[in-house]
Chain A
Amino acid sequence: EDQVTQSPEALRLQEGESSSLNCSYTVSGLRGLFWYRQDPGKGPEFLFTLYSAGEEKEKERLKATLTKKESFLHITAPKPEDSATYLCAVQGPGNTGKLIFGQGTTLQVKP
């Protein structure tokens, strides 16, 4: 069964304190792994797509990496505006856009 597990469930950081969020997955035939950001009461906002092990993507203070079993979202010198829930999702084989989401990591960055 395809599954996505994120850890930790919640993370509190001081402004400037770098850290990483983990996304472990099991899927038969990964077509893509996606990171989204979700603010309270809002829909998810697309951040990154990773397709193959070893791939890395960067955007401002965020960097996503991918191995055959997991993905990391590295946050460098976070700011309070980075506070949000970060969702990881995988797309399995087949000609669809169906995503399987993890439960998310809620990040709080304190000034």
Chain B
Amino acid sequence: GAVVSQHPSWVICKSGTSVKIECRSLDFQATTMFWYRQFPKQSLMLMATSNEGSKATYEQGVEKDKFLINHASLTLSTLTVTSAHPEDSSFYICSAQYRGLNTGELFFGEGSRLTVL
């Protein structure tokens, strides 16, 4: 099956620093990638929709200047958490949609656990 890879799988950083998380579709082209956040024992909450070559669309309540998303190619999207604070500690998961296939059958990455000290 299709594979989506995230890196790093976990990261610990100091408050005030920035952290970049990569999401790659390894064996298919993804026109659209989605970034989710999941707090402990809660479900996935969509943060933003990332389209290749255009600006990301952010969900209500998500600060676009804090969570920078870049989707420079059909196989790579990055999420940068800028000036991270402890409340940003969470499990960040990306998903990718087959190019030209508009369905909800998304392929998810393994997730990246961010801990901000």
Q: Which residues of A contact B (CB under 8 A)?
A: 31-32, 34, 36, 41-46, 49, 87, 89-91, 95-104
| Contact A41:B44 (CB < 8 A) given known A46-B105, A96-B102, A97-B103 | no
| Distance of A104 Cα from B102 Cα, bound (Å) | 24
B49 engages A98 (CB within 8 Å): yes
Instruction: Tell me how far the C-beta of A38 lies from the nearest C-beta in chain B, rounded to whole angstroms.
Output: 9
Contact of A97 among B6, B43, B45, B97 (CB under 8 A): B97
| Distance of A34 Cα from B113 Cα, bound (Å) | 24
* CB neighbours of B95 from chain A (8 A): 43-44, 97
Q: Is B108 in contact with chain A by the CB < 8 A criterion?
A: yes
A43 engages B34 (CB within 8 Å): no
A49 engages B108 (CB within 8 Å): no
Could you give, for residues 87-99 of chain B, a 1 whenever the CB lies within 8 Å of some chain A CB and a 0 otherwise? 0000101010100
| Distance of A30 Cα from B111 Cα, bound (Å) | 27
* CB neighbours of A95 from chain B (8 A): 102
Q: Is B25 in contact with chain A by the CB < 8 A criterion?
A: no
Interface residues of B in 39-89 (CB under 8 A from A): 42-46, 49
Q: Which residues of B contact A (CB under 8 A)?
A: 4, 6, 32, 34, 42-46, 49, 91, 93, 95, 97, 102-111, 113
B93 engages A43 (CB within 8 Å): yes
Instruction: Tell me how far the C-beta of A8 lies from the nearest C-beta in chain B, rounded to whole angstroms.
Output: 14
Tell which of A36, A42, A97, A100 has the most Cβ of chain B within 10 Å: A97
| Distance of A103 Cα from B43 Cα, bound (Å) | 4
The residue on A at minimum CB distance from B2 is A46
| Distance of A95 Cα from B108 Cα, bound (Å) | 19
Jot down 17 A-B pairs with beta carbons below 8 A, ordered by A: A34-B104, A34-B105, A36-B108, A41-B113, A43-B111, A44-B93, A44-B95, A44-B108, A49-B104, A89-B104, A95-B102, A97-B34, A99-B46, A100-B46, A101-B43, A101-B44, A101-B45
Instruction: Tell me how far the C-beta of B73 lies from the nearest C-beta in chain A, rounded to whole angstroms.
Output: 18
